[in-house]
Structure 1
């Protein structure tokens, strides 16, 4: 369902000190072979924000995150982190710029234990910081209980917690999350979102792709809506949540 075009709303706030946005994507055109997946996507994320990306299947949400984290390179367009252009830098090198990526489908190392997975998240550091492991276990107590358990035997919710915890081990300033609630029971989804709020309250900026539009917009400060590779709406999260077009397209309500 098309939700209509509203490109002017929802620009990220300009920091009072004039510093650049934490993340800025400028006119990204990204292709899979001959297929153009992103058609001029631009967005900004200010330090401390939670920004939600909404859209249907094939809208370009995951591609946007992959391009921001260096997993894909734009054919044209630019990616900026704290005022430094970083498109073209490989994803494993971008970690040192303070960006973490929790991919769709969790993708934990199934034959490694919980603790080994967490240590892998700190690969860019000379050695894992015990304080970071303690932080993850405080955020996710169930992982502390299962620290020696092989991660492939965890439940889906526990694997999602582990994927988030592993990304936190890299000390990211910006955490990209791709569908963290996918396939999880409602009670676990609520728990995951409460923890994401806590992570943000602790100072980590979040860019969130999420199929659960209501949960995402309740957590977010601002949101963007993608359709077939283009940004078609951008606004404060509260305004998007109240917009009848969004409620009809993503919350299952009848259009007015």
Structure 2
């Protein structure tokens, strides 16, 4: 198993944010994490990438514990994190932002930049433009591209479609599928539950810091609880 969360507990002060979370991501999978605001989705991603320390349980990558590693060393272990809100370097150009993603290994920089530009031709057109002047969709493309520069085995994506136009959302999801096709596993937190589950091998639903439902993407799309709570459908029978 590429990634395994074993009974992870995380607190903010005295308040539990995650309670005994179990989650797995296999090589080459897309796994979607659903839940209402405050359910613990972002906390889960931040725990995996080392930005938060679990108070209990363990996180494993290839069977090796991660929770004692500094966050910056996880990039070298093949984990990249695209946070909510993009967080590009506003005063740096597109190309400079991409170079920051390759800071730990410069051997394949030119090849990797060309790969990002092939996925996002719009970034190639704006290579010399500073990140702060890009549109929201372009900044999201740049954030994903920067994460790809480290050649990850596992990409953590936090709400990549938030605030974007439908046409750009479609592009982002198409790129997630393309990234996955070349062997990158994806753990996706996404408000667009229907679209996320359509591309996912498996999904989990978090409520109040606990996994309350798990299954294949297709099974969750067909589940009445998911359809009502996250897809806005009326599943009453009268």
Task: Report if TM-score (shorter chain) is over 0.5.
Answer: yes
SS in 2 for 1:72: coil
Distance 2:83 2:161 in 1: 12
Q: Which residue matches 2:101?
A: 121
CA distance in 2, matches of 1:110, 1:30: 31
Residue 71 of structure 2 is matched in structure 1 by 91
- Cα deviation 1:137-170 (Å, max 9, x = unaligned): 0000000000000010000000000000000001
Instruction: Please state whether the residue corresponding to 2:221 is helix, strand or coil.
Output: helix
5+ unaligned residues in a row in structure 2: which ranges? none
Helix, strand or coil at the partner of 1:164: helix
Q: 1:79 aligns with which of 53, 59, 63?
A: 59
Q: CA–CA distance in 1 between the matches of 2:76 and 2:144? A: 17
Partner deviation per Cα, 1:164-199 (whole Å, 9 max, x = no partner): 000000110000000000000111101100111011
Distance 1:255 1:88 in 2: 45
- Separation in 1 of the partners of 2:124 and 2:107? 19
Aligned equivalent of 1:138, options 118, 123, 133: 118
Q: Hey, what's the Cα distance between the residues in 2 that align with 1:127 and 1:82?
A: 24
Aligned to 2:177, what secondary structure does the other structure show? helix
Specify the alignment match of 1:233 in structure 2.
213
Answering whether residue 192 of structure 2 is matched by residue 201 of structure 1, we say no
RMSD of equivalent CA atoms = 0.8
Quote the offset at 1:126 in angstroms: 4.0
Q: Which residue of the other structure, out of 39, 55, 62, is the alignment partner of 1:59?
A: 39
Q: What pairs up with 1:217-256 in 2 under 5 angstroms?
A: 217-256=197-236
2:12 paired with 1:35 = no
How much has 1:223 moved relative to structure 2? 0.1
Deviation, structure 1 residue 255: 3.2
Question: Is the CA contact 1:101–1:175 (under 8 Å) kept in the aligned structure 2?
Answer: yes
- TM-score scaled by structure 1? 0.91
Any idea what SS the aligned residue of 1:56 has? coil
Q: Are 1:156 and 2:144 matched, yes or no?
A: no
198, 213, 216: which one aligns with 2:196: 216
C-alpha distance in 1 between matches for 2:190 and 2:57: 24
**2:178 aligned counterpart, secondary structure:** helix
Q: How far did 1:127 drift?
A: 5.2
Query: Which residue in the other structure is 1:68 paired with?
Result: 48
2:88 to 84, 89, 108: 108
Shift of 1:237: 0.5
| Match status 1:45 vs 2:25 | yes
Q: Partner of 2:68: helix, strand, or coil?
A: coil
Inter-partner Cα distance in structure 1 for 2:155 and 2:217: 18
Aligned partner of 2:151 in structure 1 is: 171
Q: Give the whole-Å Cα distance in 2 for the aligned partners of 1:172 and 1:71.
A: 17
8 Å Cα contact 1:29/1:76 also seen in 2: yes
Q: Deviation per CA, 1:19-49, whole angstroms, max 9, x where unpaired?
A: xx10000000001111110011010000000
Residue aligned with 1:197, SS: helix
